[in-house]
Structure formats: structure tokens, C-alpha cells
């Protein structure tokens, strides 16, 4: 018996989201459509220059856990916050989604992580993240019984930035595999891939990770090629299962020599792409842990991603289980 379908491990971050134009990004030296790591001083500067903003609990793996729960799955989450207002917001929000979250907060300093997200008119999000307390996540925060009772443990590639989190992930992978469970990761960001290419490839090739999520840019960066077909062939050989998203062109699932392509859902308007990859992973992993085909997993992923990009913020505001039933996917 398993208590959880999916355990996610990640950086516990509160998103502060505001709209801006492309000139604002240029004037403030912000790399568009990327996750830029910043220090406390720059966080304060950018916050002072933001327009009206929405605060929403985020963090890649936290969003995925919320998506799994919204689909009706049993989700758990490990991530570190501080004992401050943003930490309380984060803990409240993820528990309110129905996610098991018991990671102990880390004092009052450093403060809870926050990401200033600037959304341009094309819906692209440019993230500027001060990691704060979330870098304090370590092996002592691993709840062995939760890992042992989760069908899949999923972590974000961003966790390779804080060094002690790597120890926590390796401990989770050890416990998961000892209990016959599987481990999954998302490559997170092409810049993240550039920083940790060799380590990510080792995680895949060593069998530490079974299921890998990536988007087109990330898989091209991983194999340092501009040929998408070459990158797909390589990732299929390097891991048990890969799911690669292609924005409006849907996604492709790969297992050995087999491939399944699924279309993106029709949408009215792209409002904010924050959380698109996170919610794709939630849909896929929900389907996977329910024993669905990889094609169906991809369809559930595309549905969840398509819904979240039509709203502001990375956590689903409508019931994904209802949407999936309406689409006759569950």
C-alpha cells in the first residue's frame, strides 16, 4: 500500500507577480523568459520598481504537488521556509490545496524565498529569485516514511543550486529505490542545465532518476545541440522515461524506441506561462501513478498546463479533476 501518489521536493518560494513591458526588462537588465538568481539587495530594488503585484505561493515542485492534488491525487511536499509572513502564506496555501507539508521552518533569517516575476504582453515570465530560507533544505528535512510510501518522488533541477539539497535528494532517491519506488526530476531551466549538465546526465545514466521532464530548450541545452531530433534520441537512451514539452506544439513522451506525441489543448488566450511546465508534470505524474498509458499521461499534462497559462499565477484556480472529467481524460 502507498500513502502518497507523488512526493515533490523543491524550493519553497512565494511568487510576487506583476505585468511589465519589454523595455522594463531591458532597463533593469532582466533576462527574458529565464530564472535569474538574485541577492537580497537586488530583490529589494526590483520589488521597489514593480507595479501592482499579486502574491502567490509558488516554487516549481510546490506547483506540481498542488496540481497533483487538484487532479485528485495524494501529494506530499518537502521545502523550507522561514518563520515569517511569507513562510506562513506558503504553508497555508500548499496545505489548503490538500498537500501533506510538514517541513519545519528555519527561524527568521534568512527570510522565506521570493521570486519577482515580470509577465510581458506575450505571456512570457521572467523570474528573479532570491532563494533565502529555501537553500537551508537538507537531509534532516527528509521524512523517510513519506518517501517510502510515495509511488514517485519528484524534484526540481533548481535544487542543484543549494548544495545541501543535493544530499537530501540523494537520500530521497536511496529510500525510494530501496522501497521499489521511482524517482523523477525536471531539468527546470536551460541556464540551470548549463550549470549542472554533467551532474544531471550522471543522475539519469546512473539510474538515480527514472523519469525526466524537460522542454525543448532544456533538452537542446542538455546535449549541446540545435538538432531537436538528436536531443530526443539521446534522452531516450539516457533515462527510463522522458517527457518533453514543446509549447504550443504539445509534448512527446519517450520510452526506449517508442514515442507518443500529444497535442496542446486549444486555449483562448495566453495570460501567464508561469507554472506551465510544473503543471504538465503534475498531470503526467497523476496519470502515471494511476496506471495510465504514457500517451494519456501526456494528454493530462497538456490539459493541466493549458489551463494554468490562461490565468495569473502558477497554482490552478479551477479544479483540474473537473476539467479532466470534462475532457473525458479521467
Q: Please enumerate in sequence order all residues whose Cβ is within 8 A of that of 55, keeping only pairs 6 or more positions apart, or say none.
A: 14, 15, 16, 17, 86, 89
Per-residue confidence (pLDDT) for residue 56, from 0 to 100: 85
Per-residue confidence (pLDDT) for residue 197, from 0 to 100: 98
Per-residue confidence (pLDDT) for residue 161, from 0 to 100: 84
**Structural domains for the chain:** 4-12+60-106+134-327 (3.40.1190.20)
Strands 251-255 and 241-245: antiparallel
Q: Please enumerate in sequence order all residues whose Cβ is within 8 A of that of 221, keeping only pairs 6 or more positions apart, or say none.
A: 190, 193, 194, 197
Per-residue confidence (pLDDT) for residue 128, from 0 to 100: 96
Per-residue confidence (pLDDT) for residue 213, from 0 to 100: 98
The answer to whether residues 14 and 89 touch, using CB atoms and an 8 Å cutoff, is yes
The answer to whether residues 33 and 120 touch, using CB atoms and an 8 Å cutoff, is no
Per-residue confidence (pLDDT) for residue 247, from 0 to 100: 95
Q: How far apart are CA 114 and CA 16, in angstroms?
A: 7
- With a cut of 50, which residues of the chain have pLDDT below it? none
DSSP code at position 242 = E
Buried/exposed code over 114-127 (b: 16+ C-beta within 10 A; e: otherwise): bbbbbbbeeebbbb
Q: The whole model's pTM is what? A: 0.93
Per-residue confidence (pLDDT) for residue 84, from 0 to 100: 95
Amino acid at each position: 500500500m502507498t500513502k502518497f501518489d507523488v512526493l515533490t521536493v523543491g524550493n519553497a518560494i512565494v511568487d510576487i507577480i506583476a505585468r511589465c513591458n519589454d523595455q522594463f526588462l531591458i532597463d533593469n537588465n532582466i533576462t527574458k523568459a529565464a530564472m535569474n538568481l538574485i541577492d537580497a539587495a537586488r530583490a529589494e530594488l526590483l520589488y521597489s520598481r514593480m507595479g501592482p503585484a499579486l502574491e502567490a505561493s509558488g516554487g516549481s515542485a510546490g506547483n506540481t504537488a498542488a496540481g497533483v492534488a487538484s487532479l485528485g491525487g495524494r501529494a506530499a511536499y518537502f521545502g523550507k521556509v522561514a518563520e515569517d509572513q511569507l513562510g506562513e502564506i506558503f504553508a497555508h496555501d500548499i496545505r489548503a490545496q490538500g498537500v501533506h507539508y510538514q517541513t519545519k521552518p528555519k527561524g527568521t533569517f534568512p527570510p522565506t524565498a521570493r521570486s519577482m516575476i515580470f509577465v510581458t504582453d506575450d505571456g512570457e515570465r521572467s523570474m528573479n529569485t532570491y532563494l533565502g530560507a529555501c537553500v537551508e533544505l537538507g537531509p534532516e528535512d527528509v521524512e523517510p516514511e513519506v518517501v517510502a510510501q510515495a509511488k514517485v518522488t519528484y524534484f526540481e533541477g533548481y535544487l542543484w543550486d543549494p548544495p545541501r539539497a543535493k544530499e537530501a535528494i540523494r537520500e530521497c532517491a536511496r529510500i525510494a529505490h530501496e522501497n521499489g519506488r521511482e524517482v523523477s526530476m525536471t531539468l527546470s531551466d536551460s541556464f540551470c542545465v548549463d550549470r549542472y549538465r554533467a551532474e544531471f546526465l550522471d543522475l539519469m545514466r546512473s539510474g538515480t532518476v527514472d523519469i525526466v521532464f524537460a522542454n525543448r530548450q532544456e533538452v537542446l541545452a542538455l546535449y549541446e545541440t540545435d538538432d531537436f531530433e538528436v536531443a530526443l534520441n539521446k534522452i531516450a537512451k539516457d533515462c527510463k522515461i522522458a517527457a518533453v514539452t514543446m509549447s504550443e506544439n504539445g509534448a512527446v513522451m519517450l520510452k526506449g524506441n517508442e514515442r507518443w506525441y500529444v497535442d496542446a489543448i486549444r486555449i483562448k488566450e495566453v495570460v501567464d506561462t508561469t507554472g506551465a511546465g510544473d503543471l504538465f508534470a503534475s498531470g503526467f505524474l497523476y496519470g502515471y501513478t494511476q496506471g495510465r498509458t504514457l500517451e494519456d499521461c501526456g494528454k493530462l499534462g497538456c490539459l493541466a498546463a493549458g489551463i494554468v497559462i490562461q490565468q495569473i499565477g502558477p497554482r490552478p484556480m479551477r479544479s483540474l479533476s473537473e476539467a479532466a472529467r470534462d475532457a473525458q481524460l479521467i
